[in-house]
Amino acid sequence: MKIKQALQIVAFWVLYMVTYAISLLPMGFLYTIASFISFLVYHGVGYRKSVVYQNVARAFPEKRYGEVQAIVKKFYASFLAYFAEIIKNVSVPVAVLDKKLKFENLELIDQYINSGRSVIVCLGHCGNWEMLNFMSHKISHQIYAVYRPLRSVVIDRLMIKLRSRFGMRLLADNTVARLLLSTTASPAVYLLLADQSPRTKDKKYRFTFLNQPTYFFSGMEKLARKGHNSVIYLHITQLSKGNYKIACVPVCFHAELTAEGEITRKYIGLLTENIKEEPYGWLWTHKRWKR
């Protein structure tokens, strides 16, 4: 076991150093590589191409084939560009990121935290959501990013290392309830990607999303109501290549006073607006409606 752990540690540091070395390359060069890979993925490998086309066509039934095809092609190009940006962020100076990421209404988080409430910040897989690790540099409160641990110990450790560069702490999804509902924990910010397909289907959390019956996680809302938290939605839009605007949109201040399903319904509405504003920016490769 000790030998296995030692090998994992060595593999992690080798992988991290390689990633760091690649991140030192010019951004233009990384984008060029991303464009080439995007061409191969779309025209050659065709990674989940049928899934993407099906998802987009069903989400926007009013669009003609040419419009759907344009969204799909731009999705693949943008998705690979996001990877280039994530790698670059391993070493990019803070001052550069400060110019590329424009945060709006962050004072709303201060207002909620200062009132003694933790804040659940919900968002979707829109734009380059991985850039949000920089959010820890923009506010003085502790931010936890809730995530599902990866099977590979080495890759999981690498992702934690990359995402925590600016002080964000990673919190496994099976431990978030214990901390969020703790009576001794200080108010903090909890980032939740809540648009994935839930493992457990709750009929009370079945809504119409992008013209299709869709199940959503009930945990986000239930934790907010039980923990007497405030809820904010992060609206992510791409201003230009590599430049993003992240706006804090209020969902509710007193979650415990909302009716069951109200928070999730508001979240779905805001997420839908976000996707319709930039249809190519959502994670269409996800088999969201596989069940």
Convert the pLDDT of each residue in 73-87 to its tens digit.
Answer: 999 999 999 999 999
Comparison of pLDDT for 3 and 164, the residue scoring more: 164
In angstroms, the CA 199 to CA 97 distance is: 36
Distance CA 120, CA 192 (A): 7
* Neighbour count for residue 36 (Cβ, 10 Å): 11
What distance, in Å, lies between the first and last C-alpha atoms of the chain?
39
Bin 116: left if φ > 0, else alpha if -120 < ψ < 50, else beta. left
- 109 in Cβ contact with 139 (< 8 Å): yes
| Mean of the per-residue pLDDT values of the chain | 93
* pLDDT range class, residue 2, cuts 50, 70, 90: confident
Residue 291 scores a pLDDT above 70:
no
Does residue 290 surpass a pLDDT of 90? no
The closest of 20, 156, 155, 164 to 87, measured between CA atoms, is 20
Q: CA nearest 163: which of 144, 182, 190? A: 144
Confidence band for 1, pLDDT divided at 50, 70 and 90: low
Q: How confident is the model at residue 202 (pLDDT cuts 50, 70, 90)?
A: confident
Task: Give phi and psi for 161, each to the nearest 5.
Answer: -60, -45
Cα(132)–Cα(193) distance, rounded to whole angstroms? 12
